[in-house]
Structure formats: structure tokens, C-alpha cells
Chain A
Amino acid sequence: MTPQTPAALAGLVVIETAERASGEYAGKLLADLGAQVIKVERPGGAPTRAMGPFCNGESALFAYLNTNKKSVVLDLGEPEDRAMLDRLLARAHALLDDHAEAWCESHGLSQTAVAKAHPALVHTVVTPFGQGAPADMQICRPINVINAGGWAYHSPSETPPDKPPLKGSGRFLSDYEAGIDAALCTMASMLRLRRTGQGQFVDISEVEVQLNRIDCVLDRMLAGDVDPSAERTAYDMGGPGTSFACADGHVFLFMTTRQHWKALCELMGDPDWTGDFREDWLEFDCTSPNVARFRENFTGWIARQEKLPITEAAQKAGVAMVPVNTAADLPRHEQFIHREFFQNAEHPVFGKVAYPGACYRMSATPVQVRTPAPALGADQEETLDAAS
């Protein structure tokens, strides 16, 4: 599809029995880094193939989550197919799963069973609350996980008590966060495997990923440095920073210093109302009434500005005000274009598509989509023959 460049994980084989976005995203991260990820799909296909949006009958979600992977179909409830999985695992470096313990148990894929049959295998399992959690808790979905981990309750900042906590962007934010930790740990453990020949069990809790991402705020509460509370604003920083509507979209303003304030006043042409604020109000007089008064005045001014020209002028003036970019803004954004973040490609079913790339540009082993997500069972013969 595209010229082959060296890949960081070349030579590593990962078997993916995962069937949710968390495990599949971990698999995608590894596959995009060059591991050979063999996706084991149930007859009829992975559940994510049935999730929208669809185009020409195919799932765009599946096409995103499964780039660079291979597909085989196995009915893991059937002894013959289950034995084939063991043969695949015998020549693999890692197994990536995201099922509940009961499922793993009934398919011979518990921690103990896998460790016994395949001592030189990294076995990673991603679940909502980690191994040993009560079964009822493990049915939780991403919106439950992001609520259980605290980010929903505190998002957006300044949400009043009568408005619902939010799930975050899209459908799977907590899954993607967990996928990052799962991929990181699986790779670290595969390094140990290469050095010692020994496998390891890796247990990832999606909720604990959520907790870890807020370490320097929540831990200060845990340690008693500040008081935890039932306040929706407990994670907030205070200050006037927030999103504002402008003439053609939205901007985000962040302001904490007198330099920021002085620069903003100049940018606005020093309107009279700014004279009511102390020059150092952001540092020493940043009260709720002052923030409210500032926003009331600023809202009227910014509403008449266009997001790109005004944020460009702001950056030059030293004001941390940026456009709230939309999906349409990014592919034509000069920095995204320069860094070739989006990879334009031809997809066999969708036609022209733009794959969002990785956030890390690696000089020796660039991440890229080498092959689109596989058709169901596309690699059945080749893969199973190799394992027989």
C-alpha cells in the first residue's frame, strides 16, 4: 500500500482476542508500530464490525481500530478452533484480551491456564475495574468507566450541580486511555520476554487509568494536602480560562498572569471596562465576581471576532488564546499538514480516506498504515497454515 519503512515492533507477534475498543485500540497501537497483530474474530465477525458509522455497508469504526492487523475467524467455543488458538499462541509474543474473567475462564484463557500452557507469553487483559472485581462491575461500558473514574463528574470545568456529568469526546475516550496503558505495558513486558525468555500477566484496570491521569490533583486530596469534596469544581483551577463563542466558531482563552492580561487589553484596544481591573488581578484578585465581570465584557467583544485572525494576533501578542478546532479545521491546518499527521490513502471499500496518525514521529521507525483493516477472515489460510 505504501513504501515499507522499518517498524519498531517488527518481528513481534501479538494475538488479539479482544473484542472491545479498549483492547482493540491497544492492538492498533502495536500494529501501527509494526507488530504482526492477528485478530481472532468470532464467526460472523468482531462486535466492532457491527458498530457505526457505516459507509457502503462497512464500519468506519472497525476500519479505524484495526489498521495493519490480520484477521482469522475462530469459534473459541469449539475444541478444534480453541486448539488452533493454542497453536497461534505457541509462536506469539503476546496475547491481548479484554473479556471478563468468567469468559476467560470458560474459554481456557484465565491467567493460570495461559501461564501454564504458554510460559513464554505476555498475557494482557484490559477490563473496566481490573482482575478480581465483582462480576457485576465488569459489565460497565465507557460512559460508566469515565464516571467511575471521576473525570465525568468534573467535566467540563465549572459545570453547575444541576447539569449532568459528561462522557467526554466520542464514545470511547476511557477505552483509548486504557488502550495506551495496555500497549505500553505489553511492550514493556515483551522487552522483558526478549531479555529473559519469561512471560508475564498484565492486568489493566480502565478505571485506574482514569485515576492515574489525574494524579497530581487527586493525590493531593488523598494525602490530605487539600480537601476532597462533592464539588463539581474540585478539579478546577479557577480563573477566567474557558471556551467562548466567536463570530465563526469558538476560541479557548487561558490567562493566569499580569503579562497575559496586559497583552489581552492591548489586543482588544484597551476598552474602558478593563480599567476596572487591577493590573495584577489574575494573580492577586482573581475572585469569582471578577471572573464573571471579565467574561461578561469579554464575551461581547470576542463574539464579533473571527477565530483564525484573532487567535493568530493573540499568539503574536502573547495571549494564550487558541481556536477550538473542528474536524474540518485539522486537515487544512498548516501545522498538521507540515507534520503529515493525516495519512491519505485509498480504502478498498470507502475510497479516499484520511487516517489520523500517531502523536509520536519516530525518526527510524515511522508509524504508518501499511494495510487497511482486514476483511473478515482475510488471513485465515496463510495464518493457520503457518501455525499448523
Chain B
Amino acid sequence: MQALTNRGKEVERKPMSFWESLYLPGIFKGMAITFSHLFKKKPTIHYPEQKREFSPVFRGLHVLNRDEEGRENCTACGLCAVACPAEAITMEGAERMPGEENLYREEKYAAKYEINMLRCIFCGLCEEACPKDAIYLSETFAPSDFNRKGFIYKKEDLLIPDKNTDPEGYAKARGSKK
């Protein structure tokens, strides 16, 4: 068979020499390697206390965006759902009634909007498809949960807090992305 890499080694089937059958030299050699790592730079961090900077292209949990006046951007156009390769997004649209102009930016809005995070593969195609700047993938990890029910994210879970009434929550949800 042709080798895939040139790092392969022939397996030696010779019987071990006396020196090798003692095992101790091999153990000390291994311990020395382990010990030498104590003095090297640590590649790990203490996660909850220390946090790494996110890559600018990091794709985490989705947020539904609001405009400057705190109105929802999403118009339930369905382009994210049709772009979604995992078919994780579902929605139901509704017409804005008189008096709801401060809630929704356009005539039509998403009455229901759901992302099934069990299905989502965080590819970001929804973000790319959105014509209304409504959906973004944030710098938040998908949390773990004991049961599956917790992974059906509804509109309330996804919607970004209103910048004007809850600036702290807004800044947290927004993260450091530009």
C-alpha cells in the first residue's frame, strides 16, 4: 500500500534486548519529557476566569438584531430558513397592527422565530442570506443542557436587548464585534 505520509515506521518484531526488557530507561526517558514540559509556556488558560479573545470570524449563538430605535429588524422573509443547510430555522410571519410601529421596523414581522440549536451547525449562512441585517452570529458559545427541550431557541431567547432600555444587556449580547 502506498504510504499517505512519509512518517510511517516499519514495526520491528525483534525480541527485546536485556536493557529494553528492564523498562526503566524507557520510563525515565518519558518522565524526562513530561518534566521538561513544566518549564515550557502553558498553552492552556483558566477558562471561566480568563477568556481568550474571539476570532473576528467566530460564529456562536445567533442574535436577532434591532435598529437604532429598538425595533425588530426581522421581517420573516424566510431567506435564512431557505439558506439553512440544516433546516434549523422556522418562523411565522404576521402583519404589524397600528400602534405596533415602535416594536417592528416594517409592515411584516416575525411573530414566531425559532432556531433548533440541536440542528444548527453554526455555518453562518443565515447571516449571509439576511437582507435586513437582522440575524447575526454572536460571540457566545452554545451552552450545554441536560435535556433537548432547552435547545429550541425562541424569539425571546434570540432577540438582542434593546439598546435604549437595557444598554448593559445590549453590550453583552453584542460582544466586541464591530
Note whether A and B form a binding pair.
no
Q: Which residues of B contact A (CB under 8 A)?
A: none
Q: Which residues of A contact B (CB under 8 A)?
A: none
